Each structure stands twice: as C-alpha cells, then as structure tokens.
Structure 1
Amino acid sequence: MRKMNSFGIIFLGFLALAVSAQAQLKLGFYQQTCPKAEQIVLDYVKKHISNAPSLAAAILRMHFHDCFVRGCDGSVLLNSTKTSNASQTEKVANPNLTLRGFGFIDGVKILLEKECPGVVSCADIVALAARDSVVTTGGPSWNVPTGRRDGIISNVTEANNNIPPPTADFRNLTIFFANKGLNITDLVLLSGAHTIGIGHCSSFSARLYNFTGRGDQDPALDKFYAVKLKQKCRSLNDNVTFVEMDPGSVRTFDLSYYQLLLKRRGLFQSDAALTTNAPAKAYIAGLLSGPPQEFFRQFALAMEKMGRVEVKTGTAGEIRKQCAFVN
C-alpha cells in the first residue's frame, strides 16, 4: 500500500472539500420541503427497471461518470446548446457517447417538479436512482445523504480528461481515483459494478486485434475468452456490437466479476489491471473468500463515499427545472 503515499498530498487537498460537503449533505434532506421525494424516485425506478433491467447498470454508470467530472452535480445531464467546441458538454465526450438513461432521469424530474417545483436537484435524482436501481435488481443498498445542488458548467474536455478510460493501466487508474479522494480499496470495490451491464466492442477490441499496434492480441487475456469475444466483435472497428461484462450473470449483482478477473477474463484493460497490483489482487481474493453480504457491505460504503465527491451544497449551483438545461 506504500504506492498510495505519493498521492497523500492530493488526498489532503480533497479532505477539506469532503468534510465541508459531508457537513451539509444529510439523510432525509427533503423531509420537510418535499417529503415524498425519495418515494417518488423509488416508485419510478421499480416501475421502469422491472421492464428494462439493463437500465440499472446504465443509471449506475451515469452516476460514476457524473461524480468524476466536477463532482456529483448532475453536469453529465446537460445538453450542448451551441455548435462551438467551447459549448460542448460532457454528454458528447468519448466516454459518455454510450451512456443511456437520460430520458429516465427526465421522467423522474417531471414527477418531482409536479410534486414540489424547484426543490429536488437533478444531482440527487441521479444518486438516488442509481442506488434504487441496484437494489431493485437484487443488489446492495447504501445510504444516500441528499442536498446536492446542480452544477451550471459542463465541459467535454473535462469529461475526456477525468473519466477513467477502459484502456487505463493500474497506475493511471489510481491517479484518476486519487484525484477524487478515492483509494485502491475504492477502486477495486467500485469496479465491482461491472458485475452488471454491458461493454461495447469499441472499448476493448484493441485487446483482440491490435494490442500493441502490430495486429496482436493482449497476452493478459485468457485465450479461450478471447475466442468467444472475437465471435461477437468481428473487427477492430466494430462500434455497434456489445457483450455482457459478466457473462452468465449480467443481471445479478454478485462476486462473479472478481472470479472472472482471476481467470484473466476481465473485459476491459482497466478490469485486468486490477490483478497487476499485489495489494489489489489480494483484496480481490479476500472478497472472494468471504460471503457476498460482505462485498455488498463494502461496496455500499464505497458508493456512499463516491456520492460525496466534490458535491455542491448550500447556495452553490442551482436546482434545475429541467435536467438537460441550466435555468
């Protein structure tokens, strides 16, 4: 764990921000101003996720991508309003081109605006919906203290530079996470979200067809798994096809993602990277040696921690009337 010492200064820098944010976020923030808010979110999630369970992973991923750019402030939801590059928002950044669920969040917002106009932030809706979506599909629950405010800035370049790419190695992953006050343990646990959802061929096809630029295959990838992936992703330039991130268990929030990692069957380079660091690999082994409930408990703590990253509270930002546009 000594490798994390190089990030100590970064952690200290974010500590003051985290303490300030945590002082203002609280459980039941809307109890007086919009007492039905969290129930409205939950009811909407239950109604729609049961019909489209793949949306659970999509909403969870949206929450991750939101928090890694300007903190958990709903900035990922904003639409670009002009044609100039300077006005392009996070939505059009490369990591976000495959994000789904924006209409889902808009649907929740419409109901909340009818119930209590101008009260519940889009940032809180994303955080609550991510938790409720995972729970609805059989995954763990976690505390979601609320009181986040919506950001008014969303920048495509910041998203491209701050969201960990699927090609990242372990060193770069730790830097991305350390920049948000998250450590190696958080990295391993939050990567566990890949136990549900899908991955697009374009995010990992280089591992199959051109790993070092010489038309080769990633030697860290299990060869039998690679054969199966090539049967679905037929070329390096397949931008349409997608595959399950956790084959055979894509709709079950469990430990099988980590089991696959140790078999060299992590889909992304960033998944495989977790096994290249001895402490991280040992932590994965520890998760697998315990009951699923312990993984659930630790994942829940990591999610709550991530949900506090650089949040805007008090008078910062605004409460958007529509999640895709600033007021």
Structure 2
Amino acid sequence: MVNVLSHLGVVSLTLILLISSINGQLELDFYGRSCPKAEKIVLDFVSNHIPNAPPLAASLLRMHFHDCFVRGCDGSILLNSTVASGNQTEKTAPPNLTIRGFDFIDRVKRLLEAECPGIVSCADVLALVARDAVVVTGGPSWKVPTGRRDGLISSVVEASNNIPAFFDNITTLQNDFANKGLDSKDLVVLSGAHTIGIAHCPSFVDRLYNFSGVGDQDPSLDSEYATNLKARKCRTANDTTTKVEMDPGSFKTFDLSYYKLLSKRRGMFISDAALLTNPTTRGLVNEILEGSLEDYLVEFAASIEKMGRIEVKTGTEGEIRTNCAQVNS
C-alpha cells in the first residue's frame, strides 16, 4: 500500500511539473540559457540611443502601460493594422496616436533575432525597453521577470475601451484599474509617471477653454497655471500641435514634483485632478508627499512590476513574433 501511494505521489508530482511547464511562469533571467545576451543587448541599445532623445523614455513607458491594459502585457500594441483583412489595431486607437517609439522596439527586436532567432518575445522587449529607458534617463529601476509570449489579436475598439483616459473621473479610473487587478494605491503611484514627458494641447485644452461646454475654464484647475498655459502654450482651443511639459520645470527628472504640483491643483489632466476628489486617493497623494523620494520609488517599482504581470501569456499561449509589427504567417 505504501509503495502504491509512493508511486501515485511520483505520478502526481510529474503531472504538476508537466502542467507547470506547459502553463509557464514569468521569471527573472528567463532567457539565461536560451539567449543569455538578450537583456544586455536591450540595455546596450537603450543606453546608446535614449540619451540622444530623453523624452522617448516617457513614451516607451506609456506604450508598456497601454499594452498591458489591453489583453494583458502581450505586445498587442505593436501590431500594425492589416489592409487585406480590414483589421484596425491598437496603434490606431486615439490614446495611442501620440505614442512614439514603435520603430525603436522594432530595431531592438531585429538585434535579438540576429542573436537568437525566435526566442525573445516582443512583449518582453517592450517591458525591458520601458524599464531600461527610464533608468538611463536617471529614473528608478524595477525588476522585469520575463517569459511573456506575444498575443495574436489587436483591436482598436478594445484599446479605445480599456485604456484609462486623460478625461476619466476617479470612479472610472478605479474601475479600470480594478479590472486589471490593480488597486487605488497602484493608480496613484503609477500616475506619478507623469513626472516625465510631454503632452499635446488637445488632451487637456477643454480644461482651459470649454470645460462644461459653455466656454468656461475648469474650476478645479489653478487659475494662475491655467492663465500661463493659455498665454504661453495652448493659445487657442484649436491648437493640435503644441507640446507641453506635463511636469513643468522637471519633466526630465523622475521625482515628486508631479505630486507637489497636483496638490496645488496644477495637475495637467482631468485624470490627474481626479486623484484629489476621492478620500482614499487624496490620502495616498498626501502620504507620498510626506514621505521621501526613495520611499516613493520603492512603491513605484512594486506597482509597475505588478502591472507588468497583467494577464500575461506564457508557456504555449500566443507565439514569439519574428516581427513585432505582424503575427507570424
């Protein structure tokens, strides 16, 4: 009887290990044996090119964020639309039209394909590039476990419906994050990424010229800040080209300036201002301001690592794309 139970135990363990290998899991240094130079190739390329275009770091971080909120972190945001099938992909969704850096990801992928054909996923390339780009520009680092596989589906409709928008109120934002397994703390902490990068006038110009449809200004926006934006940046309600620092005076530095401005009612987007309209999120903003930058960066790392695991495809799911812009034929 003991021998039978022992045999059953071995069989059960074997089945568990088999199922685990099929399902797969994200892990640090996933490519340690299959493509040992992979992460160095990514870091070297980022280190050589991002210093020449620092604002691109913010766009690449945003690309990673937007990718994870649609079908999980599966590189679906990288796919091009296909004329033959009439499929419009996530790239064409309004939230993604101002994202730059798709060619950057493609160039990194080509280097990896030359080193280890068919091994490193585009989803992992994006996750690694986003982290390394922020680090190279002086921002925080975080762990990026790898082993993601690439999705086969990319939909403009899903992107438009699932990516948190700059005009969302706090209830919508909290629901969007909760749907992806993220909480209010993650929402507040990840919003701090607005401390780097730029925005275009259309994303917030209604707050200046037509907040409620009668030519008024958003009363929740600091009047001095609004006057400055009107005079020096978005001079008309129809300005579609002017770029504006999201964190004026500190948009190249990953610091607490975003939260300091937010507390003065100088958050650029409606979604920024929304963080002060809820007791929980307002309290979290105050906690960050009362703490140190080092404490915040630890929290940011924890939240973005959590985000990077949203609905990932591993094991035999999806595929490893040869070209990040199209599924394998």
Structure 2 length normalisation: TM-score?
Answer: 0.91
- SS state at 1:131 partner: helix
Bigger Cα Rg = 2
Report the Cα offset of residue 22 of structure 1.
10
**What count of residue pairs does the alignment treat as equivalent?**
308
In structure 1, the residue matched to 2:268 is 267
- SS state at 1:253 partner: coil
Q: Deviations over 1:132-151 (max 9, x none)?
A: 11111111111100000000
Provide the C-alpha distance between the structure 2 equivalents of 1:23 and 1:188, rounded to a whole number of angstroms: 31
2:72 partner amino acid: G
Distance 1:20 1:262, change over 3 A: farther
In structure 1, the residue matched to 2:13 is none
**Residue 288 in structure 1 maps to residue 294 in structure 2:** no
2:114 partner amino acid: K
CA contact (8 A) 1:21 1:310 kept: no
Report the Cα offset of residue 230 of structure 1.
1.0
Instruction: Show the 5 A alignment for 1:33-52.
Output: 33-52=34-53
CA contact (8 A) 1:21 1:311 kept: no
Report the Cα offset of residue 256 of structure 1.
0.4
Provide the C-alpha distance between the structure 2 equivalents of 1:150 and 1:32, rounded to a whole number of angstroms: 20
Q: Deviations over 1:73-107 (max 9, x none)?
A: 000000001166x5000000010000100011011
Report the Cα offset of residue 61 of structure 1.
0.4
**Residue 32 in structure 1 maps to residue 33 in structure 2:** yes
In structure 1, the residue matched to 2:249 is 248
Q: Deviations over 1:33-55 (max 9, x none)?
A: 00000011001111111111011
**Residue 195 in structure 1 maps to residue 210 in structure 2:** no
* Higher mean displacement: 87-96 or 22-31: 22-31
**Residue 316 in structure 1 maps to residue 306 in structure 2:** no
**Residue 71 in structure 1 maps to residue 72 in structure 2:** yes
Instruction: Show the 5 A alignment for 1:79-94.
Output: 79-82=80-83, 87-94=87-94
CA contact (8 A) 1:60 1:131 kept: yes
CA contact (8 A) 2:21 2:315 kept: no
* Higher mean displacement: 208-217 or 234-243: 234-243
In structure 2, the residue matched to 1:220 is 220
Provide the C-alpha distance between the structure 1 equivalents of 2:277 and 2:181, rounded to a whole number of angstroms: 22
CA contact (8 A) 1:162 1:176 kept: yes
In structure 1, the residue matched to 2:298 is 297
Provide the C-alpha distance between the structure 1 equivalents of 2:38 and 2:175, rounded to a whole number of angstroms: 36
In structure 2, the residue matched to 1:148 is 148
In structure 1, the residue matched to 2:8 is none
Q: Deviations over 1:223-256 (max 9, x none)?
A: 0100111121122222111100000000000000
1:108 partner amino acid: V
Q: State the Cα RMSD in Å.
A: 1.6
2:241 partner amino acid: V
CA contact (8 A) 1:21 1:312 kept: no
In structure 2, the residue matched to 1:207 is 207
In structure 1, the residue matched to 2:122 is 122
Provide the C-alpha distance between the structure 1 equivalents of 2:90 and 2:187, rounded to a whole number of angstroms: 22
5+ residue gaps, structure 2, are 1-19
* Higher mean displacement: 23-32 or 248-257: 23-32
**Residue 239 in structure 1 maps to residue 240 in structure 2:** yes
CA contact (8 A) 2:127 2:144 kept: yes
Report the Cα offset of residue 294 of structure 1.
0.4
Provide the C-alpha distance between the structure 2 equivalents of 1:224 and 1:40, rounded to a whole number of angstroms: 47
CA contact (8 A) 2:250 2:257 kept: yes
Distance 1:82 1:144, change over 3 A: same
Q: Percent identity among equivalent residues?
A: 66
In structure 2, the residue matched to 1:102 is 102
Distance 1:56 1:217, change over 3 A: same
Provide the C-alpha distance between the structure 1 equivalents of 2:72 and 2:228, rounded to a whole number of angstroms: 37
In structure 2, the residue matched to 1:12 is none
CA contact (8 A) 1:109 1:122 kept: yes
CA contact (8 A) 1:68 1:180 kept: yes
Provide the C-alpha distance between the structure 1 equivalents of 2:169 and 2:207, rounded to a whole number of angstroms: 13
CA contact (8 A) 1:22 1:308 kept: no
In structure 1, the residue matched to 2:5 is none
Report the Cα offset of residue 282 of structure 1.
1.2
Structure 1 outlier segments of 4+, above 2 Å: 19-23
In structure 2, the residue matched to 1:157 is 157
Report the Cα offset of residue 23 of structure 1.
6.4
